[in-house]
Amino acid sequence: MALSKREKLTQVLKDLEATTPDIEASAIVSVDGLMIASALPRDVEEDRVAAMSAAMLSLGERTAGELTRGELSEVYVKGENGYVILMAAGENAVLTALARKDAKLGLVFLDMKRTAEEIKENV
């Protein structure tokens, strides 16, 4: 039986988490702040994550543009328990990932970039 678009994208997220142990959870969000696909823990409010992700990416893009830093690559927030990393996945989606506090960020960014390209082709 053929998988739906949402199921395919959810599998892309699960593959990202399986190949990158430093990523604990992930989601794909529309630039409008709506959840497209999710591999987030059950105790996380998907709607809230979606809205915050879209807002943070939009603010990051405006900041990079206004301060002549070029096209935005990623936005990340470091907290005492780890990172929240956002990366554009085409013009209409945002890849959001939660990474461990001791994550190897170079590898995380590399794997997220690969996944963002895959998402871009499927959204």
pLDDT surpasses 70 at 1:
no
Residue-wise pLDDT tens digits, 71-100: 888 999 999 999 999 999 988 999 999 999
Domain map of the chain by residue range? 5-122
Q: So what's the pLDDT on residue 109?
A: 96
**DSSP class of residue 4?**
P
Long-range pairs for 71-76: beta carbons < 8 A, 24 or more residues apart = 74/109, 74/112, 76/105
Q: So what's the pLDDT on residue 38?
A: 95
Two structure tokens written together for 90: 């085409």
Instruction: Say how far apart CA 108 and CA 96 lie, in whole Å.
Output: 12
Pick the CATH number of 5-122 from 3.30.420.40, 3.30.450.30, 3.40.50.620, 3.10.20.30: 3.30.450.30
pLDDT surpasses 80 at 7:
yes
Tokens 């990393």 belong to: 85
Instruction: Say how far apart CA 61 and CA 75 lie, in whole Å.
Output: 9
pTM equals: 0.92
Q: How many residues can be counted in the chain?
A: 123
